[in-house]
Amino acid sequence: MPVECNKGEFVMITEIFTYIDPEPPVPANGGSLEGITVAVQPTMGVRGWPTEAGSVALERYVALEDATVVDRLRREGATIIGSTRISELGFGLVGDTSARAVSEGAVDVALAMDTMGEARIAAASAHLFGYKPSYGIVSRFGLIGLIPSMECFGMIARTPREISSVLSVMAGKDDHDFSMSDEFPDFESFDAVTVENVKLGVVREAMEFLDQDAYRAFRSSLSYLEKAGMSIREVSLDEYDLFRTIHNVIGSVEASSSAGKYDGVRYGHRAQAVKNWNEMYLKSRGEAFGLPVKAYLFQGAYFQFENYEAFDSACRIRSMLVRLMESLHETVDYLILPMKSGNVPASDMKTIDEIYGLCSHALPANVTGVPVIYMPGGLFGRETDPGFQLLAPRLGDARLLAFAAHLFDQAEGGV
């Protein structure tokens, strides 16, 4: 079915994009993002654009209004080029093309919903920088989400500075999003940082997940950092494996609740030939969700309807994990975590277990809401290096990005 866009024109669809704006609005003059091109995903509202979130549940859905970030980016002169392909409702990475949009030069920055590390993992597959900001500093208004307490607008770009300049525009108070923080990072005061005396902490328990080659490559990235004058120490987080468990419990409950709105009445897919109201729901929703998402929704329904105590327990454990992360950040400036634990391509991640397996090191940042940047492999060593993640305390986004930019400059200069 052809999609009608706001100007009624023919819509070009490519391998990377589900939609390309045939006639983008003329960029505002003099903004801080003049000349910057950005890709969004079809979970992010742009008025008049098809916004199907990669799901039958939202088939033929056309956004009625702009997401707050879209409006903010355009006002600073950025051009939104189009929507990249996305896995169903942004769960996992099957079919995701956000990183390709950057690596193939279609845009400068790709926005990618980061619920369990998607933006960083996509970036890792293309040797790009991936970023997830502190939870609550970027308005989620206009984002079709699945796990509201943990998802963010993630970013993929070639340099940390591009991420920083886009994030500084996207972040800020929005009356449409009640879940936001009252505090925001200050992007003005972190232009110059030094790497001397910076303390980095490597989480020992995360290392145990790596196979030998990955471990060796990871260590060699770290030794570069040591040479640059930073001290690296091992820190311990006994409960490391709980990040995955509680993300699964809380995430599935929130997904089950968020997906409740897909009833096929106001928008989206409606099953044909149904006898009554209940059957309309059952069949429409039965046809609306693909397997991994559907299985995830059943897990959520199980916790909600048959074992609510487990959800409550998971939220208590989240409290503990946030507390433990905060205390680790009191002893070091940044935490270092690996990104991927194996070499399985994202497109093979078809079950919940496989998806969580791929994302397990990305989850701590989503669960505790802290900012995290993925530093691509090859920057500080061999091309085969897997790269690593740097985590800062919540709202430490500006300092983290300035630090990453500094490392990037040094590496560029050094290599």
Partner 1 sequence: MIYRERTHCGQLSNADENREIRLAGWVDAFRDHGEVLFIHLRDRSGVVQVVFSPDASPADVCEKAGQLRNEYCVAVTGRVFRRSHGTENPNIETGGIEVVATELSVLSKADTLPFPISEKAMVVGATVKGVESVAEDLRLQYRYLDLRRPSMQHNFMQRHRIFRCVRDYLDECGFIEVETPILTKSTPEGARDYLVPSRIHEKQFYALPQSPQLFKQLLMVSGFERYYQLARCFRDEDLRPNRQPEFTQLDIETSFIDEEFMYTLLEELTVRMFRIGGVELPRPFLRMTYGESIDTTGSDRPDLRFGLRFIDATDVFCGTSYGIFRQILQRGGCIKGINVKGQSEKLSKNVLQNEYAKQIVLGFGAKGMTWMRVIDGTLESNIVQFFSRKEQQGILERFDAENGDVIIMIADPSYEIVTSALGLLRLHLAERLDLIPRASYSPVWITDFPLFEATEEGITSSHHPFTAPDRTDFDPDNRDDLLALHSRAYDLVVNGEELGGGSIRINSKDVQRRIFQALGLSEREVEEKFGFFIRAFDYGIPPHGGLALGMDRVVSMILGTSSIREVIAFPKNRSAFCPLTQAPSRVAQEQLAELSLLDLGGSEKLLPGSEQEDNPVDALSWVSRIAVDDSERSHIEKAVDDARRLAEIVNDCRGSDEPLFSVVSVVNRTRTEPRARRSSFAENGELFRNAPSVKGDFFKVASILE
Site for partner 1 in 322-351 (CB under 8 A): 322-323, 351
Nearer to partner 1, 17 or 289 (CB): 289
Task: State the residue for tokens 């940082």.
Answer: 193
Q: Which of 14, 103, 149, 220 binds partner 1 (CB under 8 A)?
A: 149
- Could you give the CA distance from residue 160 to residue 216 in angstroms, rounded to a whole number? 25
Q: Which of 127, 220, 281, 328 binds partner 1 (CB under 8 A)?
A: 281
Task: State the residue for tokens 């950025």.
Answer: 78
249 binds partner 1 (CB under 8 A): yes
Sequence-distant (≥ 6) Cβ neighbours of residue 31 within 8 angstroms: 75, 76, 77, 78
Name the minimum Å distance from CB 370 to partner 1: 8
DSSP string, 225-294: HHHTT-EEEEE--GGGGHHHHHHHHHHHHHHHHHGGG--SSSSS---SS-SSHHHHHHHHHHHHS-HHHH
Nearer to partner 1, 155 or 246 (CB): 246
256 binds partner 1 (CB under 8 A): yes
Name the minimum Å distance from CB 379 to partner 1: 30
Enclosing H/E stretch for 314: helix 308-331
Name the minimum Å distance from CB 55 to partner 1: 13
207 binds partner 1 (CB under 8 A): no
Nearer to partner 1, 37 or 134 (CB): 134
Q: Minimal CA–CA distance to 361: which of 121, 95, 188?
A: 121
Lateral strand order in the sheet of 129-132:
17-20, 79-84, 37-40, 109-114, 152-157, 129-132, 372-375, 388-391, 334-337, 199-203, 231-235
Enclosing H/E stretch for 19: strand 17-20
Nearer to partner 1, 61 or 129 (CB): 61
Nearer to partner 1, 12 or 282 (CB): 282
| Region binding partner 1 by CB under 8 A among candidate stretches 38-46, 302-310, 336-344, 400-408 | 302-310
Nearer to partner 1, 71 or 239 (CB): 239
| Region binding partner 1 by CB under 8 A among candidate stretches 95-103, 122-130, 213-221, 320-328 | 320-328
| Region binding partner 1 by CB under 8 A among candidate stretches 84-92, 98-106, 315-323, 334-342 | 315-323
Of 50-79, binders to partner 1 (CB under 8 A) are 60-62, 64-65
Of 164-183, binders to partner 1 (CB under 8 A) are 175, 178-182
Name the minimum Å distance from CB 19 to partner 1: 16
| Region binding partner 1 by CB under 8 A among candidate stretches 79-87, 151-159, 304-312, 374-382 | 304-312
Q: Minimal CA–CA distance to 237: which of 195, 218, 209?
A: 209
Dihedral angle over CA of 79, 127, 215, 205, nearest 10? 10
396 binds partner 1 (CB under 8 A): no
Are the CB atoms for 322 and 250 separated by under 8 Å?
no
DSSP string, 113-172: EESSSHHHHHHHTTT-EEEEPPTTSB--TTB--S-TTT-EEEEEESSHHHHHHHHHHHBS
Name the minimum Å distance from CB 268 to partner 1: 7
The pair phi, psi for residue 82, each rounded to 5°, is 180, -175
Q: Which of 127, 161, 219, 270 binds partner 1 (CB under 8 A)?
A: 270
Name the minimum Å distance from CB 142 to partner 1: 13
Q: Which of 267, 378, 410, 411 binds partner 1 (CB under 8 A)?
A: 267
**CA 222 from centroid of its chain's CA atoms:** 24
In degrees, to the nearest 5, what angle opens at C-alpha 333 toward C-alphas 238 and 329? 40
Of 358-387, binders to partner 1 (CB under 8 A) are 368-369
Name the minimum Å distance from CB 246 to partner 1: 6
Name the minimum Å distance from CB 78 to partner 1: 26
> Which tokens go with 319?
């409290």
| Region binding partner 1 by CB under 8 A among candidate stretches 91-99, 160-168, 202-210, 248-256 | 248-256
Give 201's strand partners.
233, 335
